[in-house]
Chains A and B, each alone.
Chain A
Amino acid sequence: MTALRDTQAAAVPGRRGRVRRTALLLVVLLAGAVAASMLVGAGHLPPAVVADALFGDGPVTPQSLVVTDVRLPRTVLAVLAGAALGVAGVLAQGMTRNPIAEPGLLGLNSGAALAVVLAIGLFGVSTLTGYVWFGFAGAALAAVVVGGVAGIGRSGTVSPAALALAGAAVAAGLGSVITVFLLTNPALFDDYRFWQVGSVAGRDLSIAAQAAPFIVAGLVIALTCGPRLNALALGDDVARSFGRRPGADRLVCGIALVLLAGAATAAAGPIAFVGLAVPHLLRGLTGPDHRTLLPLALPAGPALLLLADVLGRVVIPPGEVQAGVVTAVIGAPLFVALVRRRRVVR
C-alpha cells in the first residue's frame, strides 16, 4: 500500500494543504452549528444566559432548564447521529462503488424500524438499550437481504437501479408487516409514528449516552477502513493483486456500517439522505481518497444534521419540522440531481 500512497500523494501535490483547509473549515462550521443549535429555538435566550446555564453555577431557572434539558441533549444526539450517518454514508458508497448508496437505501432504516416495532409490540421493550440490539439485528438482516439481492458480495459493483429497488422492495415488504402490528395496537402506533419521522428532539441525554458506545465502536472500526475502501475502489481483481482480501475488507466495513446506521437509527429514527450527501460534498472538496473522506465525515455529518435541525426549528413558527423531514426534503432533489448526471446511470 505504501507504493500506492506515494503515487497518490505525488499525483496531487497541493492535496495535503487542501485537506487541512477543508478540515479546518468543517470544524469551524460544526462549531457554528453547535452554537446555533444551543442559541436558536422557540423562545429567544440571550447568549449570556445560555453560557451561564451551561458553564456557570447560578440557580436553576426555567431558562437554564431549556438549555440543559432540551437544547443540550438534542445537540449532543445530533452530533452523535450525524457523525454516525456521515461516516456510514462514506462506507456505504465506498463498499458498493455506487454514488447513490446510503444506509437508508440499503434498507438499514426499515430493518431497524421493523425490529423496533417488534421490540415494543411483541416483547414489551421500552428502553433504548433494549431497542438498540433489536435495531442492529434488523438493520443487519435487511442489509444482508438488500446487499445479497443487489449483488454486493459478488463483484463489488452494484447497479444503482438494483440497489434503489431492492431497498424500496425491502422497505415496502417490511412496511406491510409493521402495518399489521400498528393496526392491531393503537398505543404502539402512537409511539411509532413519532419515532419513524426521524428527529433528535425530545430525547433526553440518557438516549445519547446509550447509543454512544455503539457509535464510538463503529467510528473506531470505520477509521481503519480507509485503505480497505481505497482497495475496494480498484475493483476486486486489482485489490487482490495488491495483496488485499476484498471479502474480508467488505465484511469489516459492513460491520462498521451496521453499527453506525443501526445505532443512529435506533436513537434518532430513520434520518434520510445525510449519508448520501456527506460523501458527495467531501469528494467535491478533497477528492476520492477514503483515508481523508472518513475522518472529514466526522465533522461534516454532525454539521449537516445540526443545520437541518436548526432550520426545522425556525421554518414554521411556532411549530417545528423534524430534522429527518428537513434532510429528506433537501436530500430528495440532491438525489435526483445525482441521478440526472449521465455517469450514474450507465
Chain B
Amino acid sequence: MDAPQAAPLARPGGAPPHDAGGTGREDAGVLRGLRARRRRRLLVSGAAIAAAVVIAFVVTLSVGARPVAPLDVLAALTGSASPGTELVVLRLRLPRALTALLVGTALGLAGALFQRLLRNRLASPDIIGISAGASAAAVAGTVLLGLSATGVSVAAVLGALATTALILALTHRDGLHGVRFVLVGVGIGSGLLAVVSFLMIRASLTSAQENLVWLTGSVNQADWSRTVPLTVACAALVPAALVLARALPRLELGDDTATALGLPVGRVRLALIAVGVLLVAAAVAAAGPVSFVALVCGPLATRAAGPGRGSLPHAAGIGALLVLASDLVARYLVADVALPVGVVTGAIGAPYLLLLLARARTRGTT
C-alpha cells in the first residue's frame, strides 16, 4: 500500500537548490522527500479505504431478500430507478446501510481520539466503561421506565456522559494518567454490567431478548427515526473532532510544552473528551454498544497511514468499513437468523486485543 520504491527520498523536480551549505541542503531534501512520501501514503491508503467503504455500502444496499444489481442501486440513489427498486433501496435498506456507515465512522473516530489523547492504545470507550454506562442507562430505561426507542437513545447518551464524568472525576487528581483512567473505567464498567444483568432478570423474556440484541450492538432495527438523529449528530461532531484534533500533536509534546506553545491544555483536552464521548453516545444511541470497533480502528489506521494527524480520518473510514462488512457477515452467518453486528465485531475484536496485549507485554509498554 505504501509502495516504498515509488517514493524516492528527494523529489526529482524539487525546490531550487538553496546555497546554505552541503549538509543542510541534504537534510532539507531528505525532509521534503519524507513529507512527500508520507503525503503519498496518506492519499493512497485514504483512497483505498474510501473505495472499500463505497463498495461495502453499495453491496449492503444491493443484497437481501430481493437482490438489486449494483448499477440499479446507483440509479436508485440518483433517483432514476423504477419505483419498486427505489422503495427497496431507499426506504428499506438505506437507513440500515447509513446507520452502519455512521456508527462505524463515529466509533472509529472516537476510539482513535481517546487512544491518542490518553496515549494508550487500550483506552477505547468500550473498554473504559463508557459503553457499559450507556448500556446500563438504556436497559434501566426499558425495564424500569418502559421507555420507547427514542427514550432509550436519550438514556444511552445520558448514561455515557454521566459515566465519563464519573471516571474523569475519579482520575483527574493528577492529570490524565492513561493507565489509571483505563483501570478505573474497567472497574466502573464491571459494576455497571452487574446492574445490567440484574435488570435483565427483572425484565420479561421478550423484553430481555430485545435488550440482548441491543446490548450486543445491532443495525437490524434501523429506520429513519434513528438514522436521522445519528446523521445530524455526525454532521456536527465529525468536523468538530477533526478540527479539535489539530491540537493533538502539540498536546502529545507534554502538558508543559503545550502550555508554553500557547495551548489552553485543560480546555482543549476537555473539549476533545466531550466530542469523543458524544460521538460514542450518538453511535450507541442508534445501534447499541457495538464492541471493539473503537478499539481496533486507531491501530489499523496508524498502520495504513503512518502515525500523525492523517490517521484520524483513516480511523473513521476503517470503522465504517468494519461495521458495514461485519453487518454483511452477521446477516448470513446463521441461516434465517439476523444476528446483531456486534457478534461479529466481538468475535474479531477479542483475539485482536489479546494479540495487542501480548505484543505490548513483550515490548514492556502496557
**Chain A residues proximal to chain B, CB less than 8 Å:** 100, 104, 145, 148-151, 159-162, 164-166, 168-170, 172-177, 179-180, 182-184, 186, 189-190, 193-194, 196-198, 272, 319, 321-322, 324-325, 328-329, 331-333, 335-336, 339-340, 344-346
A/B pair count, beta carbons within 8 Å: 162
For B33, list chain A residues within 8 Å (CB): none
Min distance, Cβ B214 to any Cβ of chain A, angstroms: 11
Q: In the complex the two chains form, what is the Cα distance from A51 to B238 in whole Å?
A: 67
For A331, list chain B residues within 8 Å (CB): 191
Q: In the complex the two chains form, what is the Cα distance from A173 to B349 in whole Å?
A: 7
Q: Which of A165, A189, A324 contacts B353 (CB 8 A)?
A: A165
Q: In the complex the two chains form, what is the Cα distance from A332 to B136 in whole Å?
A: 15
For B173, list chain A residues within 8 Å (CB): 340
- Asked whether, in the complex, the Cβ of B198 is within 8 Å of the Cβ of A322, the reply is yes
Min distance, Cβ B114 to any Cβ of chain A, angstroms: 14
For A183, list chain B residues within 8 Å (CB): 209, 212-213, 216, 337, 339-340, 343
For B342, list chain A residues within 8 Å (CB): 176, 179
Q: In the complex the two chains form, what is the Cα distance from A339 to B183 in whole Å?
A: 7
Min distance, Cβ B287 to any Cβ of chain A, angstroms: 15
- Asked whether, in the complex, the Cβ of B187 is within 8 Å of the Cβ of A166, the reply is no
Q: With A321-B198, A322-B198, A345-B177 known to touch, is A166 a contact of B184 (CB < 8 Å)?
A: no
- Asked whether, in the complex, the Cβ of A176 is within 8 Å of the Cβ of B346, the reply is yes
Q: In the complex the two chains form, what is the Cα distance from A344 to B350 in whole Å?
A: 25
Q: Which of A168, A198, A321 contacts B186 (CB 8 A)?
A: A168
Q: 30 pairs across A/B with beta carbons < 8 Å?
A: A159-B366, A160-B183, A161-B122, A164-B182, A165-B122, A165-B182, A165-B186, A168-B186, A168-B189, A169-B357, A173-B351, A179-B212, A179-B342, A180-B343, A183-B216, A186-B205, A189-B209, A189-B212, A272-B194, A325-B198, A328-B190, A332-B187, A332-B188, A332-B190, A332-B192, A335-B190, A336-B187, A340-B170, A345-B180, A345-B183
10 pairs of A and B residues whose beta carbons are closest in the complex: A173-B350, A332-B191, A176-B346, A328-B194, A335-B187, A169-B353, A325-B198, A339-B183, A162-B366, A176-B347
- Asked whether, in the complex, the Cβ of B361 is within 8 Å of the Cβ of A149, the reply is yes
- Asked whether, in the complex, the Cβ of B201 is within 8 Å of the Cβ of A100, the reply is no
Q: With A168-B127, A169-B353, A197-B201 known to touch, is A339 a contact of B180 (CB < 8 Å)?
A: yes
Q: In the complex the two chains form, what is the Cα distance from A169 to B127 in whole Å?
A: 8
Q: Is the interface of B mostly helix, strand, loop or mixed?
A: helix
For B197, list chain A residues within 8 Å (CB): 193, 196-198, 324-325
How many B residues face the partner with a CB closer than 8 A?
Answer: 56
The residue on A at minimum CB distance from B203 is A193
Q: In the complex the two chains form, what is the Cα distance from A81 to B186 in whole Å?
A: 25
For B346, list chain A residues within 8 Å (CB): 172-173, 175-176, 179
- Asked whether, in the complex, the Cβ of A180 is within 8 Å of the Cβ of B339, the reply is yes
Min distance, Cβ B135 to any Cβ of chain A, angstroms: 12
Min distance, Cβ B7 to any Cβ of chain A, angstroms: 36
- Asked whether, in the complex, the Cβ of B180 is within 8 Å of the Cβ of A340, the reply is yes
- Asked whether, in the complex, the Cβ of B209 is within 8 Å of the Cβ of A169, the reply is no
Q: In the complex the two chains form, what is the Cα distance from A321 to B126 in whole Å?
A: 26
- Asked whether, in the complex, the Cβ of B208 is within 8 Å of the Cβ of A189, the reply is yes
Proximity string of chain B (133-175) to chain A, C-beta cutoff 8 Å, 1 when within and 0 when not: 0000000000000000000000000000000000000110100
Q: With A176-B216, A183-B212, A183-B340 known to touch, is A324 a contact of B201 (CB < 8 Å)?
A: no
Q: In the complex the two chains form, what is the Cα distance from A151 to B366 in whole Å?
A: 12
- Asked whether, in the complex, the Cβ of B200 is within 8 Å of the Cβ of A197, the reply is yes
Min distance, Cβ B91 to any Cβ of chain A, angstroms: 26
Min distance, Cβ B77 to any Cβ of chain A, angstroms: 32
- Besides A161-B179, A162-B360, 15 other A-B contacts (C-beta < 8 A): A162-B361, A170-B350, A170-B354, A173-B350, A179-B216, A179-B342, A180-B339, A183-B212, A189-B205, A197-B198, A328-B191, A332-B190, A336-B170, A336-B188, A346-B179
